[in-house]
Amino acid sequence: MNVIERQPEAGDIRAVLGVRRKRRSFRWLWLMLAVVALGGAYYAYFHRSGTSGPVYVTEPAVKGELTVTVTATGTVYPTNQVEVSSELSGIIRKVLVDHNDTVKAGQVVAELDTVTLNAMVERSRAALAAAKARVIQAEATAFERSKNFDRQKSLNASRFTSDTALDFARADLGRSTATVDSAKADVRVAEAELKQNETALSKSKLYSPVDGVVLKRSVEPGQTVAASFQPPILFIIAENLKRVELRVDVDEADVGKVRVGQKATFTVEAYPGRRFPARIEQVRFASDTTNHVVTYKAILRADNPDLVLRPGMTATADIVVDEAKDAVLIPNAALRFAPPPPPKKERGGFSLFKMPRMQPTTPVADTSTNERRVYVLKDGKPLALRIRVGPSDKSVTQVKAGLDAGAEVITDLEDGAS
């Protein structure tokens, strides 16, 4: 079999060489682009790192007033309220006052039906009269027996009567004397019964024990009142609502700051834009525990001249536990700030990715002397200063020593600064 060899033509050779040349040119192009990108990143990283530093945010220390408060919630109560009850069972005949009525001490507020009570009083009076009549009768009999005894005694001395007759006369006198004593005791019993029934009759009228306002009326005319071991409460009367009491629950974390005599202000939901002044009258030692939360009751007193505060209103009180006037004040953020650690030099290359900034550590505080550390800028760099602080609220703190008003304290780094 004959094999015929085909010789490559000049056109085929040029085509093969052209493909190889095109592939080699694309490869060099990608390599050059990668080198340029790496070089640009390298230049940008070291150029930025070498020419720019952290940018600090500062705020000036200012002079002003500082008021530190403790917030507590509670309820408005009257300074004194009394409950009017009935000691007697019976039917209510009249109700003479209504809700919100102003009453005076000794004023009649309700009356019970007195038909039965009047009958009992009349019967007691009759029983007393009968007892007194029996005393008179007994005394007359005793007088008669006394005369008979004297006569028998005289006759016995003259031997005109026997000793037996004298003994009978003596016994009759003793019995009549005892009858007089018994009758007199019956008089005292009748007098006591009459007094008791008259007292019950007087209690058929219910009186207000204080000057005040009727907060609650729980009775109607014709209603039957059954006084048993616990008399029913018919009226609740608040004494002098022009001065009220606020009972608030102070958290156990704050109770050590609250003292008698401190000033406070409070608001109620009915008048959200109005603040009422008050003063701490008492901080009770007994605790209250609700859902594992321990609180202590504090009693505040407040004036209520226009009677807008009503018993039962929910109130939120701000108790002033510390205050400072004309004080040097700095933001609380300045006490929390600490400069970041200096960047470490990288060996063997660099990273194209920026590492997240480490959070500054909390500056050391000496709580025994109230000393803290803050930072101010000096020649563009943070300089640590030791200061002595005073009271603080949620936003600013008083500086008692170590820093003057007008000094710029560092509070933070600008976003993006390293």
Same domain (yes/no): 123, 186: yes
Q: What share of the chain is helix, strand, coil (3-state, %, to 5)?
A: 30, 40, 30
In a domain, 364, yes or no: yes
**143, 174, 203: which is the final residue of a domain?**
203
Contact (CB, 8 A) for 295 and 287: yes
Give the span between the Cα atoms of 58 and 21, in whole angstroms: 63
In a domain, 47, yes or no: no
Same domain (yes/no): 314, 371: no
Same domain (yes/no): 338, 399: yes
Same domain (yes/no): 311, 337: no
**H helix intervals, 158-293:** 163-202
Same domain (yes/no): 118, 196: yes
Sheet holding 108-112: strands in order across? 205-207, 108-112, 90-95, 224-225
In a domain, 213, yes or no: no
**How is residue 33 written in tokens?**
């682009």
Same domain (yes/no): 291, 267: yes
Same domain (yes/no): 335, 398: yes
**153, 179, 203: which is the final residue of a domain?**
203
Mark residue 359 as left, alpha or beta (left: phi above 0; alpha: psi -120 to 50; beta: remaining): beta
| Cα dihedral sign, 333-334-335-339 | positive
In a domain, 387, yes or no: yes
Burial class (CB in 10 A: 0-12, 13-18, 19+), 245: buried
SS3 of residue 197 by DSSP: helix
CATH number at residue 392: 2.40.420.20
Give the span between the Cα atoms of 271 and 130, in whole angstroms: 69
pLDDT by 10s per residue, the chain, length 418:
444 445 555 555 455 445 455 555 556 666 676 666 666 655 555 555 444 567 889 999 999 999 999 999 999 999 999 999 999 999 999 999 999 999 999 999 999 999 999 999 999 999 999 999 999 998 888 888 888 777 777 777 777 777 787 777 788 888 888 988 999 999 999 999 999 999 999 999 999 999 999 999 999 999 999 887 788 899 999 998 999 999 999 999 999 999 999 999 999 999 999 999 999 999 999 999 999 999 999 999 999 999 999 999 999 999 999 988 889 999 999 999 988 876 665 444 444 444 444 444 444 455 556 899 999 988 888 899 999 998 888 899 999 998 989 899 999 988 655 5
Domain that holds residue 118: 114-203
In a domain, 196, yes or no: yes
The residue with tokens 């009768």 is 137
What backbone phi and psi angles, to 5 degrees, belong to 413? -105, 145
Same domain (yes/no): 277, 342: no
Same domain (yes/no): 337, 314: no
Same domain (yes/no): 259, 194: no
CATH number at residue 297: 2.40.30.170
In a domain, 155, yes or no: yes
Same domain (yes/no): 184, 257: no
**Which amino acid, 191?**
E
Q: What CA dihedral angle connects 272, 278, 281 and 286, to 10 degrees?
A: 20
In a domain, 214, yes or no: no
Contact (CB, 8 A) for 72 and 250: yes
**How is residue 22 written in tokens?**
């095109």
Give the span between the Cα atoms of 151 and 397, in whole angstroms: 112
Give the span between the Cα atoms of 418 and 351, in whole angstroms: 15
The residue with tokens 């109620």 is 268
In a domain, 233, yes or no: no
Give the span between the Cα atoms of 215 and 265, in whole angstroms: 25
pLDDT reported for residue 151:
77
Same domain (yes/no): 332, 409: yes
- Please compute, for residue 238, the number of CA atoms within 13 A of its CA located in the half-sphere on the CB side: 22
- Total structural domains within the chain: 3
